Amino acid sequence: MEIESIKEVFREEAQELLAQIDIPLMELEKTPENSELVNTVFRTLHTIKGSGSMCGFDELARFTHDLESIFDCMRKGLFKADHQIIGLTLKAKDCMKSLIDGNDSIEENNLRNEILEELKTVTEGKSCEDIEEAVEPEEVKIPEVSDTASPKEEHYKIIFMPAPDIFMRTVKIEPLLNELSSLGRYSVRIDTGSIPDFDEIDPERCYVNWIVDLYTDKGIEAIRNVFIFAEDYSELIIKTSHGFYVNNAFFLKEDVSVHKEIIQSRGDGIPSRRAGDGVIADRRKVDATSIRVKNEKLDTLVNVVGELVTLQARLNQESTKARSPEFISIAENLGRLTDELRDSTMSIRMVPLSDTFNGFQRLIYDLSAALNKKMKVVTSGGETELDKNVMEGLRDPLMHLIRNSADHGIESPAVRKEAGKDETGIISLVAEYAGSNVKISIFDDGGGLNREKIRRRAIEKDLLGAGEYDDRQIFNMIFEPGFSTAEVTTDISGRGVGMDVVKRNIEKLRGNIDIESREGEGTTVVLTIPLTLAIIDGFMVELGGGLFILNLSNVRECLDFSQVSREDGDGQFVINLRGDIIPCIDLRTVFKMRSDNAEFPHIVITEIDSIRYGFLVDKVIGKYQTVVKPLARGSHNRDMIAGATILGDGSVALILDAASIVKDMINSAEGNKSNYYQ
């Protein structure tokens, strides 16, 4: 049981490591001389190989070893990355992912062997050691030890401060020092100033620093490469005659102020681990405060907090009835703490969009090769956060939209050049907060939508009648089931799973989708998504003696219901609101409720897909923080109900899905799409 849990932890960490090397690999193809990118990929492969071997993933370790050797040669400067190596590495990464997931097969094994064979052609069948010998055939002589450096040598003072838990990271200090000694003449001493009393010593923790004086002509990069696998769990200072390195940052010798901040001296220039106000130890502190938590535990926590919010609302009601100052004070303080706990809990489940955005870099890289087009992805607002459950439901719609932009939007290089555009098409992903929602814009600078072609196809399919329509009505036709203007379907898009599925998935997230396009200039698709699906700001109304909740993000204003401009039956009518004709729906009729008890009915004006609609209700209650609970399957009018919530007094209020209600009314209206709801 313990072994399986270790394997599960390895799978999670390995998947995260693999997800992080896509962008470094694609950047390395553009800048093959960038040693930092090479080291990043090499470290990832080495970590997965070593950890995989320890956890019993022998085939993964064997396959990764040959790939790692290629990057080891690149790290030593024996050759540089090219398109072939990057392409093979990306394919190999997919194979590694399958091995980690346990999805091995004969086809996968054959593919791995093909990749390894192609890798051999890169080095002409030679190993990294063979190439190294061919490049430097002369014998290396170890210089004699002396008190002064030779003219070619430089003196480096190295201060290595490992994190206390470095031994538990499977990092061994002795091999590092042995490798360091092979670079030249060196002497080493140990700083023991942080060793605690004997009774407080933990044998699994590291309490000492190492100070090394090294004379070598190998250069600073050779020294830093020695600590490449320890740098995430330690602090490294390398002093030279020109200045000093702190991890990956270089400071000039003249920068005395920075030097004082970094080195908390104890008389001999050795940093003290007990000095807590230096800029060092940032990375070690971050590591110590990061933990991995399973999704199920987070979901349980959110559910419990939701129950607490409901209980606190009931306590508020009871304290108001009791009219006891002490009781009211307790309820208010508990309410404040509950709000803080709710916000903290929801923030734990929030994840940045950057991880999802970065994953599309690889998608466009592959699509560029498949479609023979030049494309790149530009992202902005990746720090914007969404609930992880929302993010999971958003990934597939985003991928479909990007595929459509690449296949139907971006033109071929020849067509773009003829149109006076850059041969490389741009697909832009921009995220930003909009109140309690997040707006995600997907823009491509391609050919745009062909308005006339869409209009003709819609008329052919009886989706539109004769008449004039604005751009929004025309472009929204692409969201109809089975609608496509593509003459030929491809493996990229147009496979029967169209934009209607995208819209349906976005609506499941209680979001909406809008589209704008200019022929010859490009297309923009805007998704508006709620930050979370667990707890929302609601707008409570009364209907037929029961309480219902609308999403507050859709509500724009409320009106007293006094007169009707035109009555169309079936609970549908219109009103004139400051010169605008607003279609309205009588919810009492929709849900077949008695309406003669409403003395002062109201109309709640909402905005759905950039169009305003009114909902007639008996009474407006106001804003209400809503903990969303799912409905059981088979519930009546389930499409019109987004869920339910438990009120403070224990009663249940249904959460209305305004978009679904509008859609149902449009579909049931006479003439289908040709009435005023469109």
Q: For residue range 85-128, list pLDDT tens digits in order.
A: 888 888 889 899 888 888 888 888 888 888 888 877 776 665 55
Interval 150-163 mean pLDDT: 81
The three-point CA angle 211-215-217 to 5° equals 130
> Please, which residues have CB within 8 angstroms of residue 9's CB and are 6 or more apart in sequence?
292
Q: Is the pLDDT of residue 265 over 90?
A: no
Helices (H), 31-82: 35-54, 58-75
In the three-class reduction of DSSP (H, G, I as helix; E, B as strand; rest coil), residue 42 is classed as helix
Q: Is the pLDDT of residue 625 over 80?
A: no
pLDDT above 90: percentage of residues in the chain: 12
Sheet order of strands, 641-646 included: 619-627, 535-543, 546-551, 652-656, 641-646
Residue among 35, 42, 3, 5 nearest 21 (CA): 42
Question: In the prediction, which pLDDT does 125 show?
Answer: 60
pLDDT-derived band of residue 270, with 50, 70 and 90 as boundaries? very low
Which H/E stretch holds residue 614? strand 611-617
95-104 long-range contacts (CB < 8 A, ≥24 apart) are 95/63, 96/14, 96/18, 96/48, 96/60, 96/63, 96/64, 97/15, 97/18, 99/57, 99/59, 99/60, 99/63, 100/11, 100/14, 100/15, 100/18, 100/52, 100/57, 100/60, 101/11, 104/59
pLDDT-derived band of residue 140, with 50, 70 and 90 as boundaries? very low
Residue type, 371: L
Interval 473-477 mean pLDDT: 85
DSSP secondary structure code for residue 673 in this structure: G
Which of 259-263, 378-382, 495-499, 608-612 is least confident? 259-263
- Give CA torsion, residues 618, 335, 384, 40, to 10 deg: -150
- Give the C-alpha separation, 99 to 211, whole Å: 42
pLDDT-derived band of residue 168, with 50, 70 and 90 as boundaries? confident
Beta bridge partners of 605: 557, 614
Which H/E stretch holds residue 111? helix 106-122
Beta bridge partners of 656: 641
Write the pLDDT tens digit of every residue in 243-258.
777 766 666 655 544 4
Residue among 403, 388, 330, 324 nearest 356 (CA): 388
Average pLDDT, the chain: 79
204: its two tokens: 């699994």
Question: In the prediction, which pLDDT does 143 show?
Answer: 40
End-to-end C-alpha distance for the chain, whole angstroms: 59
- Give the C-alpha separation, 7 to 4, whole Å: 5
- Give the C-alpha separation, 533 to 652, whole Å: 18
Question: In the prediction, which pLDDT does 443 show?
Answer: 94
Q: Is the pTM of this model over 0.85?
A: no
pLDDT-derived band of residue 674, with 50, 70 and 90 as boundaries? very low
- Give the C-alpha separation, 640 to 439, whole Å: 24
Write the pLDDT tens digit of every residue in 383-414.
999 988 888 889 899 999 999 899 888 999 99
- Higher-pLDDT residue of 549 and 275 is 549
- Give the C-alpha separation, 393 to 395, whole Å: 6
Which of 470-479, 588-597, 607-616, 655-664 is least confident? 588-597
- Give the C-alpha separation, 541 to 586, whole Å: 13
Q: How far is CA 514 from CA 58, 326, 472, 502, in A?
A: 49, 51, 8, 12
pLDDT-derived band of residue 34, with 50, 70 and 90 as boundaries? confident
Interval 487-503 mean pLDDT: 64
Question: In the prediction, which pLDDT does 79 show?
Answer: 77
Write the pLDDT tens digit of every residue in 333-389.
998 898 889 888 888 888 899 888 988 888 898 899 889 999 999 999 999 999 888
